[in-house]
Copies of this chain bind each other. A is one copy, B any other.
Amino acid sequence: MIDFNPILEDIEPSKEEVVKVRGLADKLKDIINKNANKLNINAEAVLLGSVAKNTWLSNGNSEEGKGLDIDVFIKFPLTTSLDDLKSQGLELAHKCVDEADGTYEERYASHPYLTGFIEGYEVDLVPCYDITDSSELKSAVDRTLLHTLFVVDNLGAEQTREVRLLKRFMKMVGTYGSEFKVGGFSGYLCELLVIRYGSFLKVLEGAIEEWKPGYRIDLMNFGTGAQFKDPLIVVDPTDQNRNVSAALTLQKMAEFRVAAGNFLENPKKSYFYPKTLKYDRETLRDAFKERKTHSVLLAFHTPNIPADALHPQIQKTEKSLVKILENEDFKVMGSDSWSDEENTGIILLEMNTWKLTPFRKYSGPTVWDDDNTTRFLKKHPQSWVEGERWFTLTRREYQDAESLIQETLTPGGIRNLRVGKHLKKKLLEKYNLVDVLDLLIAEDADEDVMKFLYSYLHKNELLTRD
């Protein structure tokens, strides 16, 4: 096995960083508690999340994408009304950002909270109820308290490094994150897996030896796992009726299994670092050309909704477009979608069939069914009998996929499409349907789009390292 220490040096926060982050957290807590006292608000700030659990990845290495979130929650007694919790909680949060000289965004998870940008860190300031058991739960964010407590109590000091290795590995192979865009493993899930299996390597071995769709982990032996139909079931040790792994897709569960197998078979340090994807316009163009399919990109402006609402909408629309095309006999070899989560969404459709013959053979009622036969023959006088059934040729409405896609995106046609209302509005406003080969001729082809196309052509790219 490889030596994990050099990796840990890169991903464990340095002493200086720990001091800085914990110092900032303490400072913010103090500000909140002081103000609560001053304003006579019965509330107390508490540090939760990966900083509290000591499982956060160093912010020094910016390659992993998103930076560190510091979770400072503002606990209210259970007797507080929800209105008071919201107003007083936000008041304290605003004052805290002000006094700490930060900026903020208002965000929403069951109720509004603030994300402050303070001293280079992102700090979530979240009002919550001070519960000790999931039966007292009043708001989904309250769970964070219980989760943090459980991990602090049950994860050995030595195991925090194992969690960090697992989270980092997950990030680098593309299976980390329970947001809809990924559908992968949450941080809490990684922690529970290390508690269950003992170490990073044992989690990988466990996944390979034991996991199958429907596999159950039940640390507290609640015996309630059978109620969940998800690919992986990890009963929440703080709530017997919740599956921590509910957001994990079969896809990401399978990908993790494959990556784990690849790593164990040939362990390499590079699994813990970003993979450099090598692509260029010409190579991409040649690859699409060689497939002799007809690939188009549908590009559109994204609506201003949270990423966790946007991605499922785009994916749903992608699947629905594929279905509409296949229902009309246009064979789709593959599809994918992408968004920068700010302005642009893209759906890729790679078609095996782009043009069709003008007629479609269509089956009607049996000859014994008089009423339906009469109706069918009235509509299709040129029918014939095959076996006991009427058949006819109908002229296709769409002889090429492009006209079908375009018709689907008109006000009249879009009711056939499964599409959320926000995205629907944007699609009806404007879209761009462009041939991938044409796009890859342009010398200023967008870098993100090229990366997306490369990932489409090399779907398993991140699961392995050479």
Q: Hey, which bits of chain A sit against chain B, CB under 8 A?
A: 211-213, 231, 250-251, 253-255, 257-258, 290-293, 333-334, 352-353, 356-359, 361, 366-368, 383-389, 393, 458-460, 463
Contact = CB atoms under 8 A, between A and B. Distances in A.
A290 to B, nearest CB: 8
A213 B388 contact: yes
B385 A254 contact: yes
A58 B5 CA distance: 103
B385 A361 contact: no
A385 B333 contact: no
Contacts of A212: 368
B334 A385 contact: no
A30 B458 CA distance: 89
Nearest to A361: B333
A358 B460 contact: no
A172 B342 CA distance: 72
13 contacts: A212-B368, A213-B388, A251-B387, A254-B387, A257-B368, A258-B385, A291-B358, A291-B393, A333-B357, A333-B361, A383-B460, A384-B460, A386-B459
A333 B357 CA distance: 10
A352 B358 contact: no
A414 B409 CA distance: 48
A22 B291 CA distance: 75
A384 B291 contact: no
Contact of A255 (B334, B358, B385, B458): B385
A292 B357 contact: yes
A207 to B, nearest CB: 10
Number of copies: 2
Nearest to A393: B291
Q: Rank and list the top 10 A-B pairs by shortest CB-CB distance, nearest first.
A: A384-B459, A254-B388, A254-B367, A384-B460, A292-B357, A254-B385, A250-B388, A212-B368, A250-B387, A352-B357
Nearest to A252: B385
Contacts of A368: 211-213, 254, 257
Listed residue (A250, A257, A367, A393) with the most chain B CB atoms within 10 angstroms of its CB: A367
Nearest to A391: B459
Nearest to A352: B357
B385 A460 contact: yes
A291 B459 CA distance: 39
B388 A291 contact: no
A114 to B, nearest CB: 39
A258 B387 contact: no
Contacts of A253: 388
A333 B258 CA distance: 42
A314 to B, nearest CB: 18
B385 A251 contact: yes
Nearest to A231: B388
Given A253-B388, A254-B389, A290-B358, 13 more contacts: A213-B388, A250-B388, A254-B387, A258-B367, A291-B359, A291-B393, A293-B359, A333-B357, A333-B359, A353-B353, A384-B459, A384-B460, A385-B459
A328 to B, nearest CB: 13
A431 B310 CA distance: 59
Contacts of A463: 385
A386 B352 contact: no
A361 B331 CA distance: 11
Contacts of A383: 460
Contacts of A384: 458-460
Nearest to A291: B359
A93 B385 CA distance: 44
Contacts of A357: 291-293, 333, 352
Given A250-B388, A387-B254, A356 B352 contact: yes
Contacts of A251: 385-388
